[in-house]
Amino acid sequence: MPSKAKAPRAASPRPLSAAKRKALATQQLLSTLAGDNESAAMTAALEVANEWLVWDTAFQERLGQKYDELNRLAPSKKKAPVDLGPAPVPIAGRGLKNYSPYGKFDPYQLIDEYGRQQLRSVLVRATQQHLREAVDIVQAHEPGTKPASRSSNTAMIDYIVAAVAGPDY
């Protein structure tokens, strides 16, 4: 009796990512138009789609379905809003009289302007670049010390507050 060869099993198809689907759709569009100007092809397709949307309800529904499908594939870029607490208020009479937009983000100056209790509140509103500047200033004052991480805002803030305001803040 002859043996029957088993056909290789096809892997279950995985849905293409939104980025791969966009690339494939763009490639198909360029092929249909027999062109190579991606920007012009995409703009033309969008303009035609917008024209059809006005009068074709089936197109509207299909576009909505595709959007929902692709939106579910794409990772969410929305971040939960961060509660920064109340905005820090400069200490009466000091304000930002010595502030220089060209100066460094100096935590020692910030503590003078806002006080120890508000230093953390000021720092959580800073960019990572400003926090790194502040870490550099603290390290100049406290040689041999460093934050747990220069890529974590929380670690840099903890380091700056402990070194400048004290461990109780």
Positive or negative, the CA dihedral 131, 136, 139, 140 is negative
* Cα separations in angstroms, 59 against 38, 65, 124: 23, 10, 47
How do residues 31-45 score in pLDDT, each as one tens digit?
999 989 999 999 999
How do residues 109-166 score in pLDDT, each as one tens digit?
899 888 999 999 999 999 999 999 999 999 999 999 999 999 999 999 999 999 999 8
How do residues 49-101 score in pLDDT, each as one tens digit?
889 888 898 999 999 999 888 888 877 666 777 778 888 888 865 555 555 56
Q: Say what the pLDDT of residue 54 is.
A: 85
Higher-confidence residue: 156 or 169? 156
User: Angle CA(19)–CA(23)–CA(27) in degrees, nearest 5?
Assistant: 170
Q: Let me know: does 123 contact 131? Beta carbons within 8 Å.
A: yes
Distance in angstroms (rounded) separating the CA atoms of residues 96 and 107: 13
E-assigned strands of the chain? none
Q: Global pTM?
A: 0.51
User: Angle CA(57)–CA(60)–CA(66) in degrees, nearest 5?
Assistant: 145
pLDDT at 9 over 60: no
Distance in angstroms (rounded) separating the CA atoms of residues 6 and 26: 38
Q: Let me know: does 156 contact 148? Beta carbons within 8 Å.
A: no
Distance in angstroms (rounded) separating the CA atoms of residues 104 and 131: 10
Q: Say what the pLDDT of residue 72 is.
A: 84
